[in-house]
């Protein structure tokens, strides 16, 4: 294997940029007020959530890899990383970088529960636990504003990505608005990590 650490950083960046570009389509649908009309197009909150949680899970595993300095356990030759534990590592890294998804200050057990309530439910039963919600912003038909500008408005809004009222709620629009910042944070941390050949081989198995 001749790949360098920079190769994987570039791969991560390219993959997350492609996801970001794809998911902007759902924002555009709602900006044009095309959802829930006669052609049956939805608003995209379930699809966005599935993709975003998969992306966050991937980035969380990379951050976990960084935090343990590449010394991940192998199981049948594949790095064994518990997703809930990795998510805790990611949230802590984002807190250090002053990126607040509404989860700063929470301890590991509560973060683990949040991951299970959303990611695991979405993957296995395509819904979330009763009382937990996924909610996009409701938008009026918008003209004279780009999709990128709208996403910047999501980030600047007072609504966090994760919010606890009676139950936890996640807003995929806000998560999307932070996706590239999350990616840059993880890549920056990965860039600081010194890796030998064994470490690069393990990273290759995570990033692919």
Task: Please answer whether residues 16 and 55 qualify as being in contact, where contact means their C-beta atoms are separated by less than 8 angstroms.
Answer: yes
Higher pLDDT, 92 or 128: 92
Where in the sequence is the domain holding 142, given as residue range(s)?
A: 5-207
Q: What is the pLDDT of residues 116-133, one digit of tens each?
A: 888 877 776 656 666 567
Contacts of 163 (CB under 8 A, 6+ apart): 102, 169, 170, 171
Q: What's the domain count of the chain?
A: 1
Q: Are 183 and 16 in contact (CB under 8 A)?
A: yes
Nearest residue to 129 via CA among 107, 114, 108, 145: 114
Per-residue confidence (pLDDT) for residue 142, from 0 to 100: 65
Nearest to residue 147, comparing CAs of 48, 31, 67? 31
pLDDT tens digits for 30-87? 888 877 776 777 878 888 989 999 999 999 999 999 999 999 998 988 899 999 999 9
pLDDT at 61: 97
- pLDDT, residue 138, reads 67
């Amino acid at each position: 294997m001749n790949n360098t650490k920079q190769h994987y950083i570039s791969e991560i960046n390219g993959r997350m940029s492609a996801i970001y570009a794809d998911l902007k389509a759902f924002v555009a649908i709602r900006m044009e007020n095309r959802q829930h009309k006669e052609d049956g197009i939805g608003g995209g909150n379930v699809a966005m959530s599935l993709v975003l949680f998969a992306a966050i899970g991937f980035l969380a595993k990379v951050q976990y890899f960084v935090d343990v300095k590449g010394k991940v356990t192998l199981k049948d030759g594949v790095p064994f990383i518990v997703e809930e534990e990795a998510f805790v590592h990611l949230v802590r890294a984002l807190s250090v970088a002053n990126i607040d998804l509404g989860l700063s200050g929470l301890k590991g057990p509560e973060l683990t529960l949040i991951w299970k309530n959303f990611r695991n439910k979405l993957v296995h039963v395509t819904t979330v636990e009763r009382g937990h919600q996924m909610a996009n912003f409701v938008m009026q038909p918008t003209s004279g504003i780009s999709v990128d500008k709208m996403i910047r408005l999501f980030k600047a809004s007072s609504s966090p990505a994760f919010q606890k009222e009676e139950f936890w709620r996640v807003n995929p629009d806000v998560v999307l608005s932070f996706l590239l910042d999350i990616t840059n944070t993880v890549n920056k941390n990965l860039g600081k990590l010194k890796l030998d050949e064994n470490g690069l081989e393990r990273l290759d198995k995570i990033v692919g």
